[in-house]
Each structure stands twice: as structure tokens, then as C-alpha cells.
Amino acid sequence: MAANRSEDSLSCVTIVIGGSAGSLDTLLAIARALPADLPGAVFVVAHVGRSRSMLPGLLRNAGQLTASHPREEEPIRRGHIYAAPPDRHMLIGDGKVCLWRGPRTHFTRPAIDPLFRSAARTCGSRSGPERRRQLQSKPIAEALAAWAEGTVRQLSRKSELAQAFRYMRARWTALVRCFDDGRLALDNNPAERVLRCVAIGRKNYLFAGSDAGGRRAAAIYSLIESAKLNGLNPQHYLADMLARIADHPARRIAELLHWNWQPLDANRAAA
């Protein structure tokens, strides 16, 4: 959460929310809790990819605020929820919503990070992040905790929403640590992305078929992760390298290393 002047000379609250494809229930719960007289705008990015999104209608029906996919350079207005449209990054700037079909961020468009970065730039400089977070974000977090404590008592202990609230409260000390240390990120998306490949492939890594298969798998994993560390798209790098390596002179093999690699077909590599 951050303060931003988007509609008039009065300070206006800007709330940015990011969620995975499985975050719908949480997003709807947040929409239900937002007051009709919210003095600001809400921006939501859910990982919907290119598929048609029904999120604006669901958010609109769940709560008291209006919701829609924004138009390009649509003026930001208070009391409204903006949901990122399919296959477009949503950014905030100069009192308007901007849509950008830029590169995918961690293979996703729309993505959370572009929205968060644009909100950070729009809402002020990075100087004194602890003070800004304490003045602007910490009261919101404290209000969220109080609301969660009151709401969970009204829910069945076996409900998924009650379980989510208990999960949050059990980790509250770690969650609010970022308010006192400006070096800490407001979310753990980078750590989640790094661990996702481990969680998805956990069982696959146990069965390589043979020792030789395990060594080949380790070599492929090393190539993929090295591509990521060097800022390359692993698919583009591997496709280009495998297409060239049979005819590539052995004495120039260093040209195909990640930190030296230049695609033979720049247009194909950027596709």
C-alpha cells in the first residue's frame, strides 16, 4: 500500500495486490471487506495469462466497489478496482493506468512485479523506506490483523478462509518485519519463484532411471539454471545452442557459454 496523488490535490490511497491463479477466494474476501467510501483505488494482478478473465465481474459482485479491466491511459478514480487484463502488464503513472505488452516477467504476463515497481516509482522515492512503510503501510497491516481476528471468530474452523487467516497470524512477526527494515521486500515472490521448480519437479528428481540418466539430467538442470543466472531465456538459449553445436568449431566452444552467447538468429531468439 502507498499514498499517491492521482485524482486531485488530496492524498489518495493506492492499494496494489498480486496473486497467483489460485488466489481468487482471497481476492474476493478482500473485495468484500473494502468500504464503499474507500479514499483511493485498488489495482489487482492475477496470473491469468492470455485466457479470458472474469475477475472484474467477480470482484464487482463480491463487494461494494466497481471493478473493470482498465483502458489504456484511463484516469485513475477513487473507489474503483482495476484488474489487469489478459496478456497485458498493468502499470501506474501520472494519474493514469498504462497497459504494456512488454516481455513476460518470469514467464508471466500480466505479472505482479511491473505493477509493484510502477507503484513504488509513482508513490515516491526510495529514501527512508522504513519511515514511509511505518506511516503508510503499517497502519493498514494493523487494521488487517484486527479485521482478521474479528472475522475468523465468525467462520467455521474447517473453512479454507479460516485456515488462511490462522496461517497468516502464525507468521505475523515475520510478515511485518519489512516495516522496520527497508532492505526487506514487501513480498516473497522472488523466493517463491526460485522454489517453485523444486516443488514441481521433486518426485521427478528421485527417478533418473540410471546413474547415466541422473548425470545427464544434472547437466541439463545446470544449463537451464546458468541461463537464468545470466539473464537468458533458457528455451531460447538451448534451442539456439543445440541447433548450432554439431557444426560449431571445437576451438570456439567458449562462444556458446552463457556469458558469451550471442544468438545466431536474433529474431528467432526474441520470439
Asked if the structure places residue 60 within a domain, the reply is yes
- Residue 138 and residue 110 share a domain: no
Would you say the pTM of this structure is higher than 0.95?
Answer: no
Q: Which domain does 3 fall in, by range?
A: 1-124
- Residue 41 and residue 129 share a domain: no
The neighbour count for residue 144, using CB atoms within 10 Å, is 16
Asked if the structure places residue 202 within a domain, the reply is no
Indicate whether 143 pLDDT > 80.
Answer: yes
Q: What local confidence, expressed as pLDDT, does residue 6 receive?
A: 40
- Residue 171 and residue 215 share a domain: no
- Residue 107 and residue 79 share a domain: yes
Indicate whether 5 pLDDT > 50.
Answer: no
pLDDT band at 267 (very low <50, low <70, confident <90, very high): low
Note whether 233 and 261 are within 8 A (CB): no
Q: Which pLDDT tens digit goes with each residue over 87-111?
A: 888 999 878 898 988 777 777 788 8
Residue 40 grid coordinates: 483511493
- Looking at the chain, the whole-number percentage of residues with pLDDT higher than 70 is 88
Q: Which of 124, 141, 174 is the last residue of a domain?
A: 124
Asked if the structure places residue 37 within a domain, the reply is yes
Q: How many domains does the chain have?
A: 3
Residues 6+ apart with CB under 8 A from 171: none
Asked if the structure places residue 151 within a domain, the reply is yes
Asked if the structure places residue 64 within a domain, the reply is yes
Residues 6+ apart with CB under 8 A from 175: 141, 168
29-38, 97-106, 155-164, 238-247 — which is least confidently predicted?
97-106
Higher model confidence: residue 81 or residue 135?
A: 81
Averaged pLDDT for residues 69-81: 91
